[in-house]
Amino acid sequence: MIGLGHFLVLGALLFCIGLYGALTKRNAVAVLMSIELMLNAVNINLVAFSRYLTPDYIAGQVFAVFTIIVAAAEVAVGLAIVIAIYRDRLSVELDDFDWLKW
């Protein structure tokens, strides 16, 4: 029987994979994708908590919907800035962005 614990472990794993990717990838687009994984891990958590702990109170699911929307806005802005810097440096590798001391 699949229970809350399974979903939380899935969420935690996805979050860790995302965090690992966000910290180790050198490509800005790949980092943004890793961050998306982290946000989706949060969504899994929220929906699982909502379904198993508070079935009559859907705040967790509402929270997940808001997270999805905000994540879309965040990525849209992120990709726009990636394009802006690509036009300038002809690169999206984070190692190349060293004009400001990192």
Binding residues for other proteins, rule: CB under 8 A, are 8, 11, 15, 18-19, 22, 28, 31-32, 35, 38-39, 41-42, 45-46, 49, 53-54, 57, 59-60, 62-63, 66-67, 70, 73-75, 77-78, 81-82, 84-85, 88-89, 94, 97, 99-102
- How near is the Cβ of 2 to other proteins at its closest, in Å? 17
DSSP string for 29-98: HHHHHHHHHHHHHHHHHHHHHHHHT-TT-THHHHHHHHHHHHHHHHHHHHHHHHHHHHHHHS--BGGG--
CA distances from 67 to 19, 35, 62, 63, 73 (A): 17, 13, 9, 6, 10
Residue (10 or 42) nearer to other proteins, CB: 42
- How near is the Cβ of 10 to other proteins at its closest, in Å? 13
- How near is the Cβ of 23 to other proteins at its closest, in Å? 8
The Cα 47–Cα 66 span in angstroms is 12
Residue (1 or 102) nearer to other proteins, CB: 102
